[in-house]
Structure 1
Amino acid sequence: MRAADRDTGNTELERNRSPVEEHLQSAMNHLTKTWLHPDIPNSLVDLEGFSLVRADRDESSGKTRGGGVCVYIREGWCSQYTVRESVCKPDVELLCLSLRPFYLPREFGNIIICAAYVPPSGNAAKAASCITDCVHKQLQRTPGAPIFILGDFNHCRLDSSLPGYEQYIKCATRGNKILDKCYGNVKDAYVAKPKPPLSNCDHNTIHLVPIYKTLLKRSKPQTKTVLVWSDDNIEILKGCFACTDWELFHDMDIEDATETITDYINFCVDTVVEKKTVTVFPNNKSYITKEIKECLNRKKLAFNNQDKTELKSVQKELNSLLKEARTKHRDIIEQNFNFGNSRKLWDAMKVVTNMEPVRNRLITSNEQQRANDLNDFFLRFESPLEELVDLDSIRCNSDCRLEVVPYTVYSLFKGICTKKATGPDGISAF
């Protein structure tokens, strides 16, 4: 939203939001071009039930009047917020907040809100670069957090500087143009609904309605079978392997011996070690342990019993367990980067980026023909050359001549990347 008149903007907002339930229940109200300055106290622009966070225009913007952004945060929705960054430049005015609402989906730890205003006279490229730097800085601090950039962008666009971010406002905000925008890194998070403008403002009020479905509702829980290891099971397995006559495998082929020994070890493990079926919910964090779940259950029990002393004690213990589990999980991922094992490296990258495996199956109309084509392709090196190529037709064709030029050979070898792994012929790929 945008308030263009500093004298009537607040009273108009108070008058418009009073009879409308959706404005009373809105989590935040965002205003751009507030025209506020340090001589105007918060008491003159406060809204009942909302906390005000403002970033007024100062002399560093090159102007003394106008501008400014502010955010009203509903106290019943969030009381913990931190101002991460405040920028006031001739090209952009930016206010970055980190919020921890009372309720959030488990896949999110906090929310980053960036309120921006790009003046019509500002440089769009410099404004986009400043906003992008702020976004990357916040994501480095809290990776995986949902971040939303909203405000009056005028002629500035973030599609190229922040690829992959969705722009939620599809309706016109001034005339037939979309000047007020909201970018976010969460797909299908909001849907925009236009509302009448405030007082003398020439921009429509935009109501962002959340439509996001939590990961728990979008994905089904998975059932997995895990092995329950104990000291007794390990000792029993040691006894089994100690009594095994391993000399029986000495005379076997290497491939048969490998397969037989592997099957034997798996058989011993399945026989000795107890199995347990567990349910893994999609919104579970990878660092959540059994101790943390037990602590969470004790916290719920203390809350239901209204035992404030026990609740405070359990919360302190939970914070300690979470900090220890996150540190341990971070160390494991960092160790995978330091190892030379590429498989562990990519597994760590998938955990960091929350990458899901792509399950695309090639569907063909004739499965038997596809199987035959695959067999012919992989067995082409074992077939005689005469079956693959008609050598007589090549010899008889006098026009088909192979001409090797030294410059061509030199150019091909010069284009070889020596940093890549070599193939069976000892030469790197082009």
Structure 2
Amino acid sequence: MYCNIRNAYTAEGMPPIGRSDHIMVHLLPTYVRKLKAQKPISKTNKVWSKESVEELNGCFAYTDWGIFKDSCSDLNELTDTITEYIKLCEDNIILKKTVKIYSNNRSSITNELIEKIRHKQHLWHSDDHQEARKAQKELDKAIANRKEEYKQKIEQHFKNNNLRSTWEGFKMITGYKKKTSTHNEWSSDAEWAEQLNTFQVQENFHLFINHFN
């Protein structure tokens, strides 16, 4: 089989159809979607609200901080003790939310867009095609607005001279991936070492010739 991408498919022999003298060839793509190649990651985030912040401030206001000072022998122990106490108060007061992060998630996709997509699909499967077309127009408009917002966000990083965030945004948009080492292109370590030796010998030979010229 000829295609514009090398090693894009793997061939698997299949039995012939009926009395045919030609076997069938089943072509399987070697590419694996990113969603299937990597498992989703569960991440726990703290949900900060106005009520929880006020409750946390009240907890700190009624805390007798002198107890920590009297029970600690040096500044390092006092710092560690107070830090652990603050973390304990946060864990007991601030609500937590566990979310799944999939490998194909994009920061430009928000929950609002996902809800609009689900709403449109629900209308279409319910045979309400007219309302589904209206929902599609609203979805297209929301996607365009979100792209514009994300574009302005990247431009703002560039104006603020935040090159790291700007470069990460460009990599996500363009799908840029860092090239792997050329060591993976060789079939074995012995072949890789032989190529390095040949290159080194050639370099030394050129240096030797140039020395006498």
Q: Any unmatched runs of 5+ in structure 2?
A: 12-26, 179-213
1:215 aligns with 2:34: yes
| CA–CA distance in structure 1, aligned partners of residues 4 and 104 of structure 2 | 26
Q: TM-score, normalised by structure 1?
A: 0.31
Query: Could you say which residue in structure 2 is the equivalent of 1:346?
Result: 164
Cα 1:308–1:235 shift into 2, 3 Å: same
Cα 1:209–1:306 shift into 2, 3 Å: same
Query: Could you say which residue in structure 2 is the equivalent of 1:264?
Result: 85
| CA–CA distance in structure 2, aligned partners of residues 313 and 319 of structure 1 | 10
SS in 1 for 2:130: helix
Within the candidate set 104, 122, 134, 1:283 is matched to 104
Q: Give deviations 1:388-417, integer Å, cap 9, x for gaps.
A: xxxxxxxxxxxxxxxxxxxxxxxxxxxxxx
Partner amino acid, structure 1, of 2:90 = V
SS in 1 for 2:148: helix
How big is the shift at 1:321? Answer: 2.6
SS in 1 for 2:88: helix
| CA–CA distance in structure 1, aligned partners of residues 144 and 155 of structure 2 | 16
Q: Give deviations 1:77-96, integer Å, cap 9, x for gaps.
A: xxxxxxxxxxxxxxxxxxxx
Partner amino acid, structure 1, of 2:53 = I
Q: Give deviations 1:186-220, integer Å, cap 9, x for gaps.
A: x96x3499xxxxxxxxxxxxxx9854322112111
Partner amino acid, structure 2, of 1:278 = V
Cα 1:331–1:307 shift into 2, 3 Å: same
SS in 2 for 1:244: coil
Q: Give deviations 1:74-120, integer Å, cap 9, x for gaps.
A: xxxxxxxxxxxxxxxxxxxxxxxxxxxxxxxxxxxxxxxxxxxxxxx
Cα 1:332–1:211 shift into 2, 3 Å: same
Task: Show the 5 A alignment for 1:307-386.
Answer: 307-339=128-160, 345-354=163-172
Cα 1:254–1:329 shift into 2, 3 Å: farther
Partner amino acid, structure 2, of 1:213 = V
Q: Any unmatched runs of 5+ in structure 1?
A: 1-168, 172-180, 194-207, 358-430
Pairs aligned (count)? 158
SS in 2 for 1:275: strand
Greater RCO (Cα-Cα under 8 Å, separation 6 or more): 2
Cα 1:356–1:211 shift into 2, 3 Å: closer
1:293 aligns with 2:114: yes
Partner amino acid, structure 1, of 2:167 = M
**Going by fraction, where is strand more abundant, 1 or 2?**
1
How big is the shift at 1:311? Answer: 1.0
How big is the shift at 1:239? Answer: 1.8
Cα 1:231–1:315 shift into 2, 3 Å: farther
Alpha-carbon RMSD across the aligned residues, in angstroms, is 3.8
- Report if aligned partners of 2:171, 2:177 keep a CA contact under 8 Å in 1: no
**Going by fraction, where is helix more abundant, 1 or 2?**
2
- Report if aligned partners of 2:10, 2:30 keep a CA contact under 8 Å in 1: no
**CA radius of gyration, larger in:** 1
Q: TM-score, normalised by structure 2?
A: 0.57
- Report if aligned partners of 2:120, 2:132 keep a CA contact under 8 Å in 1: yes
Partner amino acid, structure 2, of 1:305 = S
Cα 1:230–1:323 shift into 2, 3 Å: farther
Query: Could you say which residue in structure 1 is the equivalent of 2:55?
Result: 236
SS in 2 for 1:313: helix
How big is the shift at 1:259? Answer: 3.2
Cα 1:345–1:248 shift into 2, 3 Å: farther
Query: Could you say which residue in structure 2 is the equivalent of 1:409?
Result: none
Query: Could you say which residue in structure 1 is the equivalent of 2:205?
Result: none
SS in 2 for 1:287: coil
Q: Give deviations 1:277-309, integer Å, cap 9, x for gaps.
A: 222221121122221221111111011012122
